Structure 1
Amino acid sequence: MKNYIWVIVLLVLSINANAQQNVLSKSEAIALALEQNFDIKFAENTVEIADNNQGVLNTGFLPTLTGSAGATYNRDDSTIEFPGQVDENGIPRPNFEINKAEAQRYNAGLNLNYILFDGLGRRYNYKRLKEQYQLTELQARETIQNTILQLLSIYFEVARLSENEFAQKEALEVSKDRIKRAEYAFEYGQNTQLDVLNAEVDVTNDSIILLNTQRLLKNTKRDLNVVLNQEVTNLYEVDTLITFIPMLELQAMVDDVSINNLALLQTERNLSINEYDVKVSKSGYLPVIGLTGSYGWNLNQSAASAFFPGVNNSTLNLNLSAGLT
C-alpha cells in the first residue's frame, strides 16, 4: 500500500513538472525577445556600424599613401631610305634597315599626402562621430525598451485572457448547474418554464463569451510568438501571478526621469551633433596646410637607331613639398 501511494505521488509530481515546463515566465520571455527579436537585432547591427564609424581611421587623421608602377615594351622593324644621297665614291647610299629594335620603359613611384591642419574640421568630425555612436546606442536602448514594453503588454494580456477563460469556464459550469436546478424545480412545481428558458439563455451567453475569450486568447498568443520571433503554432502558457511595484519605487523612477528618459538623452545628443556640424562648416574659413612627398624610379632602355646608339637611362626622383590653401 505504501509503495502504491509513493507511485501516485511521483506520478503527480511528474505531471506537475511537465505542466510547469510549458509555462513561459516573464524573465524567459524577455531573454528570448532580446535574443530573437528582429528589431533588436537590427538595432544591435546599427550600433556596431556606428562603432566602426567612430574610429580614428574614418576621420582623415592618417596620411594617404599611393603607389604606382608601369612597364612599356616596344619592338620595331624599320627601313631608312636616303633618296638622292651618294657616298664619297658617288654610289647611291643604300637603305638602312633596323630589325627587331627593342625598347623598354619601366617606372615605379610612391606618393605620400598628409594634411597638417584643416581648420579643425577633422577634430570636430571625430567628436561628431563619437556623439553619433552614443546617439545610436540610445536609439538601440529605446528599441529594446519599446520591444520589451510591447512584449510585456502582450504577455499580461495573455495572462488576463487566461484568467478570464478560467472564470468563464467556471461561470459556464454554474449556468449548466442552474439549468439542472431549474428543471428539477419545474418538475416539482417550484417555478415556471420561463425560469428554465432563462437558465438556458444564460448558458448560451456564457458559451458565446467563453468562445470569444478563447479566440482572443489564441490570437494574443500568436502575437506573443511574433514578438518573440517564434513559430506561430507555439502556444505558450504564461505566469498569471503579478507583482505590483510599490509606489515608493515609482516615485524614484519619476525623480530620475531627466537622467534615464531616452527621448531627452537623444535630444541632447542631437543638439551636440548639430553643434559639431556647425563647427565643421565654419572650419572651411580657416586655411589648410598639407605636406606632399613622392619617390620615383624610371628606367628607359632605347634601341639603336640609324644615327644614335642605344642607351639605358635610369632615374631616381625624390620630391618634398608643402602647400597652403
Structure 2
Amino acid sequence: MKLIKIFLSGLMLLCLTSGVRAQEVLSLEQALDLALKSNFDLRLARNDAEVAANDYAYRNFAFLPSLNATAAKSWTTTAIKQEFANGNKRDTSGIKNQNLQAGINLQWVLFDGLKMFATRQRVEHIKVLGELTVKNQIVNTMAAVINGYYNISQQKQQLHALAEQMSISDERVKLSDAKFQTGLAPKTDWLQAKVDYNAQKAAHLRQQTLILQAKSSLNQLMGVDANSTGYDVQDSIPVNLAMNYGEMQQGIDSINTDLKVAQQNIAYRNWR
C-alpha cells in the first residue's frame, strides 16, 4: 500500500508539473512581434502607404503628354427571306459584315496655371502622410500591446492577493468552527466566517474571468485567435524612475507622431 501511495503521489506531481510547463510564458517582446506582424489596423495603414508610394512613383507624369488609343470592331449578320405575289421567293440569309474603327489621341498640356506643380506636390504630401500614418499606427499599437500585457500582469497580482485573502478566510472558517464545536464561540461567528469566505471565493472567480477577458483583448491586438488564452505573462512590471517631465516635453512637436500626422494633414489641405 505504501508503494501504491508513493506511485500515485509521484504521478500527481508529474501531472501538475506538465500542466505548468504546458502554459508557456509569453514575453512582451513576443507580443509586440506578433502585433507588428498581424495587427489588422497596421495592415490597413501599410496598404494605404503602399498605394500612396505607388502614386508618388508616377508623380512626374503630370508634366508628360498623354496618349489615348481606342479601337472597336463590330460584326453583323443579316438574314432576309421574301415571298412575292407572283410566287417568286428570295432568300439572302448569311450575309455578314465586319466594321473596324481605331483612333489615337495625343494631348500635351504645356502650362495649366501651375496646377501640374501643385498636383506633384500634393502627391508627395500624400506619400509622406502615408508613412507618418504607418509610424503613428505602429506607436499606438505598441502602446496598446504594452498596456494590455501589463494589465494582465496587474490582474494576476490582484488574483494572487485574492487567493491569499481566501486562504486567510478559510483558516478563519476552520478556527471559528473549532471554537463553535468546543463551545468557545457562538455559531454566528462561524456563519459570518463562511459568508466572508464565499465572498472571497466569488471575487477570486470574477478575477479569473477578468484575466481571460484581458487576454482576449491582447489577442485581438496581436491578431491571433481571441480564445487562445492558454498562456501566461510575466508577473513583474518594470518602472522607469529616471523619466523627467521636462525632458519629455522638449522636442515633442518633432517626435510625437500624432502631432506630425496633424501637421501633415494641414499641409495637405493647403495644397488641395
* TM-aligned CA deviation for residue 219 of structure 1: 1.7
Structure in which a larger fraction of residues adopt strand: 1
In structure 2, distance between residues paired with 1:153 and 1:174: 32
2:270 matches 1:259: no
Quick one: structure 1 residues 233 and 268, their matched pair in 2 at CA, closer, same or farther if it must change by over 3 Å? closer
Quick one: structure 1 residues 29 and 69, their matched pair in 2 at CA, closer, same or farther if it must change by over 3 Å? closer
In structure 2, distance between residues paired with 1:164 and 1:204: 17
Does structure 2 conserve the Cα–Cα contact (< 8 Å) formed by 1:32 and 1:228?
yes
- Computed over aligned residues only, the root mean square deviation of the Cα atoms, in angstroms, reads 3.1
Quick one: structure 1 residues 63 and 138, their matched pair in 2 at CA, closer, same or farther if it must change by over 3 Å? same
Give 2:152's aligned amino acid.
V
Quick one: structure 1 residues 132 and 68, their matched pair in 2 at CA, closer, same or farther if it must change by over 3 Å? closer
TM-score (structure 1 length as normaliser): 0.63
**For residue 91 of structure 2, what is the aligned residue in structure 1?**
none
Quick one: structure 1 residues 68 and 212, their matched pair in 2 at CA, closer, same or farther if it must change by over 3 Å? closer
**For residue 42 of structure 2, what is the aligned residue in structure 1?**
40
* TM-aligned CA deviation for residue 122 of structure 1: 1.1
> Which ranges of structure 2 fall in alignment gaps of 5 or more residues?
1-9, 74-98
> Which ranges of structure 1 fall in alignment gaps of 5 or more residues?
1-7, 72-104, 278-325
In structure 1, distance between residues paired with 2:188 and 2:63: 92
Structure with larger Rg: 1
* Identical pairs, percent: 28
Does structure 1 conserve the Cα–Cα contact (< 8 Å) formed by 2:216 and 2:227?
yes
2:155 matches 1:155: no
Quick one: structure 1 residues 162 and 70, their matched pair in 2 at CA, closer, same or farther if it must change by over 3 Å? closer
Give 2:176's aligned amino acid.
A
Structure 2 SS opposite 1:224:
helix
* TM-aligned CA deviation for residue 34 of structure 1: 0.9
Report Cα offsets for 1:12-31 as digits up to 9, x if no partner: 9xx59973871111111111
2:247 matches 1:221: no
Quick one: structure 1 residues 110 and 182, their matched pair in 2 at CA, closer, same or farther if it must change by over 3 Å? closer
**For residue 54 of structure 1, what is the aligned residue in structure 2?**
56
In structure 1, distance between residues paired with 2:217 and 2:243: 33
Structure in which a larger fraction of residues adopt helix: 2
**For residue 30 of structure 2, what is the aligned residue in structure 1?**
28
Quick one: structure 1 residues 17 and 126, their matched pair in 2 at CA, closer, same or farther if it must change by over 3 Å? farther
**For residue 235 of structure 2, what is the aligned residue in structure 1?**
240
Give 2:140's aligned amino acid.
N
In structure 2, distance between residues paired with 1:107 and 1:47: 41
**For residue 320 of structure 1, what is the aligned residue in structure 2?**
none
**For residue 118 of structure 2, what is the aligned residue in structure 1?**
124
Does structure 2 conserve the Cα–Cα contact (< 8 Å) formed by 1:186 and 1:193?
yes
**For residue 143 of structure 1, what is the aligned residue in structure 2?**
137
Alignment of 1:266-277 (within 5 A): 266-277=261-272
Does structure 1 conserve the Cα–Cα contact (< 8 Å) formed by 2:153 and 2:237?
no
Report Cα offsets for 1:216-275 as digits up to 9, x if no partner: 111222222222221222112111211112343554222221111223212321232233
* TM-aligned CA deviation for residue 108 of structure 1: 8.0
Does structure 2 conserve the Cα–Cα contact (< 8 Å) formed by 1:159 and 1:239?
yes
In structure 1, distance between residues paired with 2:170 and 2:105: 93
In structure 1, distance between residues paired with 2:115 and 2:46: 29
Report Cα offsets for 1:191-237 as digits up to 9, x if no partner: 33232222112111111111111111112222222222212221121
- Which one is further off, 106-115 or 180-189? 106-115
Give 1:19's aligned amino acid.
R
TM-score (structure 2 length as normaliser): 0.74
**For residue 210 of structure 1, what is the aligned residue in structure 2?**
204
Does structure 2 conserve the Cα–Cα contact (< 8 Å) formed by 1:59 and 1:122?
no
